[in-house]
Amino acid sequence: MRHVAPHRLAGSLSARQERHVAGCAQCAASLARVQAARAGLVLAARSEPAELSPAAEARAEASIRWTRIPASPVVRRPFLVGLGLTAAVAAAVIVWNAREPRRAAWASTSPAASAHRPAAPAPRPDRLEALVTLIGGDVQLARGDAPARKLSIDTRLGATDRVTTAGNARAAAQWSEGSGFLLDGDSELFLARLEPRTQRLELSRGQISVRVGPHEPGESLHVITPDHVVSVHGTWFTVASSQHTTTVEVLEGTVEVTDHDGSSSTLLTAPARATFGRGRTAQAPLSGREAARLRAASEMNFLPWTGLDAARAASGSLMVASQPQAELAVDGVFLGATPLQLRRPLGRHYVELTRADFKSLHQWVAVGPEGGELHASMVHAPPQPDPESAPVEIESMVRRRASQIRACYERRLKRDPSLAGTVSLRLRVGDAGQVTRVDVEQSTLPDPLVADCLRHEAAGWSFAQGRNATVVYPFVFRTQ
Amino acid sequence: MSTGKLHAVAGPAAQPDLVARCQKGEKEALGELYRLYRAEVARNLHRMLGPGRGDLEDVLQEVFIEVFRSIGRFRGDAKITTWLYRVCVNVALQRLRKRKRRAEVSSDDVGERAPDIQSAETPERALDNMRRLDAVYRILDELSPKKRVVFILHEIEGREPKEIAGIVGAPVLTVRTRLHYARKEFYARAATDVRLDGGLATKSEVRS
């Protein structure tokens, strides 16, 4: 191989090179690998993708529905940066689109386009109302010119309502199946439009999480901050606004963030976080842990939805307070710190209250049409070592299964005597202590079969201690 | 080497006004455009990103979101297929850069990939093909995204440097330079990559 560079071997060999390779084991091995790589390229050319899943088709349909075609494209901008519109046109499109989304597609004035224009304007859609599903802390509602009053769990929110939350407060509301918002503390939200086909939420300050469920064709949702417009392509995301900066975190789907002046537009696809300032953008992917934390923190306590009145009739309010304050989870979903007032479907619900150094409280609570209250006194107690909270006993398991683990490595060591490196496995431990999922977190071993073998080995483990946990464990392999 | 097939899709001869209708914002036309080209775009992305990487459908959606947003800027200078391919390559490049940052291709991908048994003679050969394909894409993962793209367009898709230059928006000379260094890097890595050992391939198969 000293005589011939590997990329030259990809072509045909000269007689001299063939003579050299015939007498050099290392060169022969390299040549075989290069030829294997060439064969791999042939395979790549023949390889076909799997059939698209129905979910992919549905997402494409959603993308088509949410697409706005710029009315008069004049400027070529860098890829994925600009809308290719002048500021004025962009502003017009945004405003026009928000007013009547179905019309945006007919913005062209050409005769061909006018053929598709309806003879009479579409009837103005009905107003939409949102059902409050969660209230924690001091949440104020201002409606019209009336003075602000405390938001109640029975209030129906509608267009032109303004909701303001105090420091540690939060409020959630739902307007259709899987669609609604959670307003965090120290925030102010104006429901500029709340209609079946158009929702426009103006966030003056603070943070809002928004989820959008199944849509009807032509439906649009925009979250407007003082500087940016966040438009939805079917998703779960949060928007935070402060000091001319808008932070958007996308948990599902895709959102589009546009400057108010239309000067730039960015598509964010989950999982992603981006901060938009005036003229600058910082974008970073969300890690799995961050996304999980964000999901947990932005649960909106949604109800099964067949319409507001039906959802209201099939649910009741529940007030949960505790002394001292504790974290509340209902039916396994974390909803925030007490006191919290929430709406749940009629029936029994599992309420959990937890606080560090206090005994956790687990209780079934019946929610009826007349509503209910739960006032709990938390009992101070040092943490109890129990299988639920005990760490997963991975060390002792690795010691017990050392010979099987070593065998995975030694089998491959026979093929490559210099094989050495580290394989980190991520084990998910289920509620009975059994391993429910194994992933290779990282591997520095060139031979992937060692990691495969370890995965199969670890998949059969069951721990006596440790429940519902995820453990990452590095296995270091080296020759003696 | 010219092992790949050209996968530029046929123009929408049956719907000559499709692009114009898309530019006017007709949702039905966007749907038609999607249905007409989704398979080819998926195939091109599949080659660019590698099989079994799990994110093909996400990237496909990104491509079409970008296509729908940018179709108004398509001026007809190039064929719609070339323009689509350019969008496809740009989105793939972005995804590759993101992957490089996040090293999101985990080591357990091999186990999740179904071997293409139908096209192979035996299950053993199918498994061997799968491993070899995986090794090739792992080497490609180590190339810079720009080098990877020109390498794939030339070595797998069989496109000429001039055509690649039009797709990636770079001078032909730059494409040739990138291709030279990409080939050099790819085969140097392949020569020392033990994952390519022990295959069932024969020299005759490789040289055919």
Is the minimum CB–CB distance between B77 and chain A shorter than 8 Å?
A: no
Full-model pTM: 0.42
C-beta separation of A60 from B38 below 8 A: yes
State whether A39 and B155 contact (CB < 8 Å): no
Tell me how close the Cα of B187 comes to any Cα of chain A, in angstroms: 5
Q: Report pLDDT digits (tens) over A167-212.
A: 889 999 998 877 889 998 889 999 988 887 788 899 988 888 888 7
Distance CA A396, CA A401 (A): 9
pLDDT, residue A63, reads 66
Among B19, B28, B69, B151, the strongest candidate for a mutation testing the A interface, having the largest count of A CBs within 10 A, is B69
Residue A414 burial (C-beta neighbours within 10 Å; 0-12, 13-18, 19+): exposed
pLDDT, residue A24, reads 83
Q: Show which of residues 216-275 on chain A sit within 8 Å of chain B, judged by CB atoms.
A: 217, 233, 254, 267, 269
Residue B177 burial (C-beta neighbours within 10 Å; 0-12, 13-18, 19+): middle
State whether A1 and B191 contact (CB < 8 Å): yes
Q: Show which of residues 141-160 on chain B sit within 8 Å of chain A, judged by CB atoms.
A: 152, 155-158
Q: Report pLDDT digits (tens) over B52-104.
A: 665 787 788 888 888 888 888 787 777 788 888 888 998 888 888 877 766 54
* Assigned token pair, A158: 């509608």
Distance CA B6, CA B8 (A): 6
Using alpha carbons only, give the angle A383, A388, A391 rounded to the nearest 5 degrees: 80
Q: Show which of residues 147-186 on chain A sit within 8 Å of chain B, judged by CB atoms.
A: none
pLDDT band, residue B122 (cuts 50/70/90)? low
pLDDT, residue B194, reads 84
Q: Show which of residues 334-353 on chain A sit within 8 Å of chain B, judged by CB atoms.
A: none
The mean pLDDT value for B135-143 works out to 89
The residue whose two tokens read 């007919």 is A106
The mean pLDDT value for A40-54 works out to 79
Q: Minimum mean pLDDT among B20-24, B114-118, B119-123, B202-206: which range?
A: B202-206
- Tell me: pLDDT of B7 over 60: no
Q: Report pLDDT digits (tens) over A79-132.
A: 222 222 223 333 333 333 333 333 323 223 233 333 333 444 444 446 888 999
Pick from B152, B191, B198: which is nearest to A34 by CB? Answer: B191
| CA trace torsion A249, A251, A252, A254 (10° rounding) | 20
**Strand ranges (DSSP E) for chain B?**
none
Pick from B61, B198, B201: which is nearest to A63 by CB? Answer: B61
